[in-house]
Amino acid sequence: MAARIYKPAKTAMQSGTAKTREWVLDFEPEQPREIEPLMGWTSSGDMRAQVRLRFATAEEAVAYAERHGIAYQLFDAKPQQARKTIAYADNFAFKRRESWTH
């Protein structure tokens, strides 16, 4: 029974940073997934694969894992790059130096 502790990355489907501030503890699967013959869905008898615990800090997640005797791997969070904020109207400004094309 091993677990991963990490800070999730921003998904490509959103521009905000929702659900990226918390640390997540996921359990590694103990059994491989099986293909269900009738419908073709993938399934697993491993109930811990469905559990995802969220913590405010990495220290809380590590303390939880140690308190419950769970072997874990801690993955450091990558620093987010600062985004340059510009207004949409800047595309049409008179002070713009390069030409505006599609």
**Taking the complete model, does pTM exceed 0.85, yes or no?**
no
- Any idea which residue has 């969070």 for tokens? 77
Residue 58: closest CA among 2, 3, 1 = 3
The pLDDT tens digits for 45-83 are 888 888 999 999 999 999 999 999 999 999 998 777 777
User: By percentage, how much of the chain surpasses pLDDT 90?
Assistant: 37
- Give the pair of three-digit tokens for residue 60: 């809380």
**Domains of the chain, start order:** 2-92 (3.30.160.190)
